[in-house]
């Protein structure tokens, strides 16, 4: 039912739809432009096609979100920051939990990554539950770590270490 795959041009309209939903982008990076245009989606598809660390999340044959890992540099090159989002109409179906499980397992099995971490806005309970269900451990709180739309957010740092 769930599949992680490369993005392709047929995903452009869905990406635009999901990333123009304020509820989807509410707690994720401001690096995602608003409004999210067709040109933005086309750039994303073209630039993620060759990446093994950026995957489209497909559920029952339909694009529903994205999951990725950004590997650190130099002495942090065996660590990566995990990020993901799911289109709102697919929330509460266990899709994010399953995608994080599959992607985490894949990264630990097929790459040199030994530590995955996520900094998640402290009031984003749904994402925190996804991480905890997958064995990510709370490491601490980063106070006023981010500011979005003039509002400061504490962030919780979670990580998982390869066995």
Instruction: Judge contact between 110 and 162, C-beta under 8 A.
Output: no
Output the average pLDDT for the chain. 95
Residues 6+ positions from 126 with CB-CB distance below 8 Å: 91, 92, 96
Q: Give residue 122's pLDDT.
A: 95
Look at residue 146 and tell me whether its pLDDT is greater than 80. yes
**What SS3 state is found at 51?**
coil
Instruction: Judge contact between 37 and 16, C-beta under 8 A.
Output: yes
Look at residue 49 and tell me whether its pLDDT is greater than 80. no
* Class for the domain spanning 2-161: alpha beta
> CA-to-CA distance for 157 and 140, rounded, in angstroms?
5
What percentage of the chain has pLDDT greater than the value 90? 87
Look at residue 144 and tell me whether its pLDDT is greater than 80. yes
Ordered strands of the 137-148 beta sheet? 2-5, 54-59, 62-71, 79-86, 115-121, 151-161, 137-148
- On the question of a cis peptide bond just before residue 35, with omega within 30 degrees of 0, the verdict is yes
> CA-to-CA distance for 40 and 54, rounded, in angstroms?
16
pLDDT digits (tens, 9 = 90+) for 17-48: 999 999 999 888 888 889 999 999 999 999 88
Q: Give residue 52's pLDDT.
A: 85
The domain limits of the chain are: 2-161
pTM of the model: 0.95
Q: What is the mean pLDDT of residues 2-28?
A: 95
Q: Which helix (H) or strand (E) is 148 found in, with range?
A: strand 137-148
pLDDT digits (tens, 9 = 90+) for 84-122: 999 999 999 999 999 999 999 999 999 999 999 999 999
């Amino acid at each position: 039912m769930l599949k992680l795959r490369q993005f392709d041009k047929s995903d452009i309209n869905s990406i635009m739809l999901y990333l123009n939903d304020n509820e989807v982008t509410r707690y994720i990076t401001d690096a995602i432009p608003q409004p999210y245009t067709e040109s933005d989606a086309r750039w994303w598809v073209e630039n993620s096609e060759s990446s093994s660390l950026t995957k489209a999340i497909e559920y029952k044959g339909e694009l529903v979100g994205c999951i990725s890992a950004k590997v650190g540099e130099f002495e942090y090159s065996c660590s990566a920051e995990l990020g993901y989002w799911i289109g709102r109409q697919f929330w509460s179906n266990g899709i994010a939990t399953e995608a994080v499980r599959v992607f985490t397992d894949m990264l630990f099995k097929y790459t040199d990554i030994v530590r995955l971490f996520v900094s998640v806005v402290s009031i984003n309970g749904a994402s925190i539950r996804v991480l905890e269900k997958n064995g990510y451990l709370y490491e601490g709180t980063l106070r006023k770590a981010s500011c979005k739309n003039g509002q400061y957010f504490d962030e919780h740092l979670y990580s998982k270490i390869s066995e």
